[in-house]
Amino acid sequence: MVKMRRFPWWPAAMLALAAIAIGCHTPSQCPILQGLTGGNIPAPLPPPGDAYKVVGYRDGIRFYVVQYNDRLYRGGDILSRAGMDALKALGTKTIISVTPNDEERAWAREYGMKYVEIPFGWYDMKKEHLDRFLAAADAGPAPIFVKCFAGDLRAAILAAHWRIHREGWTFEKAIDEYRRLDANYWDSLNLVEVLKANAGK
């Protein structure tokens, strides 16, 4: 009789506790779990909303895509030409990237899309990044796809900034939408603080 090898329970328990400790309310948001799996834990789609459309998963784009209006979409990294094909099908004319890389630059040239780079991390976003985003989004051409690693933190906070300064939303309304669209708590702390500090400017 072959004896089955039992998987130790404690590594999974430790990872789960670490995920909770850093504010991940879903496995797809947890940097630890995503790092261990190469970013391949799928996220459940957020609930539908009155002011946004969940476009959903598209081949070649990390996680799901959200449409805020006719001008603005957001999502995660572009992983392949299939992702570029998906953006082309959405009519994308401009990519604003918080996480730029050489492949994306080359693909944007190949597909005739404008590529704007505004790199920053979770903890070093400043007013200048918000200002550069609004200027780039205003300049277009539209539709615009704003992206970061997964789309639910940095790209989503830029979309919230757009809501406040171009659609007249209050900070509270914009941040409520940001939370509904899967932003986690701890990694959002600095982003939300900077967004709030610049909501009236």
Say whether 109 sits in a helix, a strand or coil.
helix
Res 190 pLDDT > 80:
yes
Res 180 pLDDT > 60:
yes
- Domains for the chain: give ranges and CATH numbers: 1-41 (no CATH), 43-197 (3.90.190.10)
Q: What is the pLDDT of residues 65-74, one digit of tens each?
A: 999 999 999 9
Res 22 pLDDT > 60:
no
Average pLDDT for residues 71-78, to the nearest whole number?
96
pLDDT of residue 7: 47
Residue type, 38: G
Structure tokens, 98: 């918080």
